[in-house]
Amino acid sequence: MFHKEGHKIIFITLVIVVGSFFLIDAFIAVEWLRKSLMLLVLGFFVLILQFFRNPKRSTNPDEKQAVSPVDGKVVVIEEVQENEFFKDKRIQVSVFMSPVNVHVTRFPISGNVTYSKYHPGKYLVAWHPKASEENERTTVVVENKHFGKILYRQIAGALAKRIVNYAKVDMQAKQGGDSGFIKFGSRVDLFLPLDAKIKVELNQKVRGGESIIAEIK
């Protein structure tokens, strides 16, 4: 199953791959070179399919838990000053996605979307300390009665050139539901209340919609 954001790119890539096969077969006479080029082109197509895959995830809805919004590796767990929306101290948990990770963004909690904003910006590498404030990004805040407000931020990286955000103000978010997509590698920052109990560790691999990032008493 592939994400709808990839349908057009997958089709275009397939056309290019088929065309390349015909050209390689017609103009490359050396057998080992012809086969090598075909395998290279086929490998590129497999990478595109890998990137846009959208596997089903089993989210167990729980208003006292926040799940990971994306697949990847936890690279930041720290108390920070969040200046865009809260303007106070929060616990930041950041998940870095490599190009081979699933890049679907999912709602970390169920609730009402109270804020959603797009920011144009730079394309620093996703793990850069200033990427959260200077890169192209979207900021979304979801609120429920247990967690209060949780903010998550999709951040473009050096390769990511398009962020897709489906969250709209006043829509009802469903925990683990599809909330967007980031094309070609990036990260997502999650800003949680200070009294949230963090359930992950640095360098831990997480799965979007399934891995529990934090819980509230």
Active-site residue among 94, 132, 179, 186?
186
CA distance 72 to 147: 23
Check: CB of residue 179 under 8 Å from CB of residue 173.
yes
Query: At what angle are helices 7-27 and 31-51 packed, to 10 degrees?
Result: 180
**HSE (side-chain half, CA atoms, 13 Å) at 76:** 24
Q: Under DSSP, is residue 46 helix (H, G, I), strand (E, B) or coil?
A: helix
- 94 a catalytic residue: no
Q: Are 71 and 206 in contact (CB under 8 A)?
A: yes
In whole angstroms, give the CA distance from residue 76 to residue 62: 24
The single-letter code of the amino acid at 159 is L
Neighbour order of strands in the sheet with 212-215: 65-67, 212-215, 197-198
Nearest to 41 by CA among 18, 60, 62, 58: 18
Residue 128 exposed, middle or buried by CB count within 10 Å (0-12, 13-18, 19+): middle
The catalytic site residues sit at 186
